[in-house]
Structure 1
């Protein structure tokens, strides 16, 4: 593949990020929190939630976008990364790997480019089902109190009354 084709794929991947990070999730949507794994001087460390209609759409996005955006070191060829990511996604799709095993394998293949810290449904995230979601809910509720001295606030599910503010919080989390 020529450099101009790779540059086109990178540009297309960058545009795809904008679409999924602007989405407002509903309970059935699948999503992920991913951050750039490059050194801070190269733009790494910034993260965002991305939301999709379903699991298949999320896996397709990971396969087509994450090998190209965010970019890893300039001297790193994204094509072998793309092939490795495609192989892991295939194993997830055919249930040869659990979601957690797949996420861990993807993170190894994407090292230096991006990392997926969490993935699942919005219902799972707002429900406080995983350690990640409980930590995030705690941070959200700390944010609401404006009291940095509070270490632990309820990590219970996000109520319907909190839902709109929680969604707003997710839009800027990691940025």
Structure 2
């Protein structure tokens, strides 16, 4: 079969749509990324995507996500770029922060990744991104001392359904 850049882009778009609509309680590995392009052409908009496993998430990141933002006319060009991303992904388990920074360096101008992790971490973790998302959920218009303290508190069981639904709006 001959190389088909348009098919790759179509597959990437379909997977992005599918994974962004998933329930994070069922697909517990998450990714938040955004388009790293000028706002006039859609840059800055981001979304959460949810996967069965870290491996599935990393496979999407390496094998499809760049095709959302860049056309690869030659198969060799695509394979070289994909293999470069796969090499970064191999070290993710041992060095997640360093790998994330390296992904962002390589993907600059295409997309940027703010977070990769488990849904439970997003609901309870003290990492700044997790707290920021919880703060947005609880009080999207007001960042005061009470909002900062509320963002540090874990998502409570009675908030979980609403939190999951609202995550589809984050980044838009």
Q: Secondary structure at the match of 1:89?
A: helix
Q: Would you say the 8 A contact 2:9–2:71 is kept in 1? A: no
Structure 1 Cα separation of the partners of residues 38 and 131 of structure 2:
28
1:109 aligns with 2:106: yes
Structure 2 Cα separation of the partners of residues 107 and 99 of structure 1:
12
Structure 2: which 5+ residue stretches go unaligned?
none
Q: Would you say the 8 A contact 2:25–2:119 is kept in 1? A: yes
Structure 2 Cα separation of the partners of residues 54 and 107 of structure 1:
21
Query: Please, what TM-score do these two structures have when normalized by structure 1?
Result: 0.84
1:32-73 deviations in Å (ceiling 9; x for gaps): 11101111122211100000111111111111111211x148
Q: Would you say the 8 A contact 1:34–1:49 is kept in 2? A: yes
Query: Please, what TM-score do these two structures have when normalized by structure 2?
Result: 0.86
Q: Would you say the 8 A contact 2:63–2:82 is kept in 1? A: yes
Q: How does 1:1-175 map to 2 (within 5 A)?
A: 5-26=4-25, 29-69=28-68, 71-72=69-70, 78-92=78-92, 95=94, 98-143=95-140, 148-152=141-145, 153=147, 154-155=150-151, 156-175=153-172
Q: Which runs of 4+ in 1 moved over 6 A?
A: none
Q: Would you say the 8 A contact 1:38–1:73 is kept in 2? A: no
Q: Would you say the 8 A contact 1:107–1:115 is kept in 2? A: yes
Q: Secondary structure at the match of 1:118?
A: strand
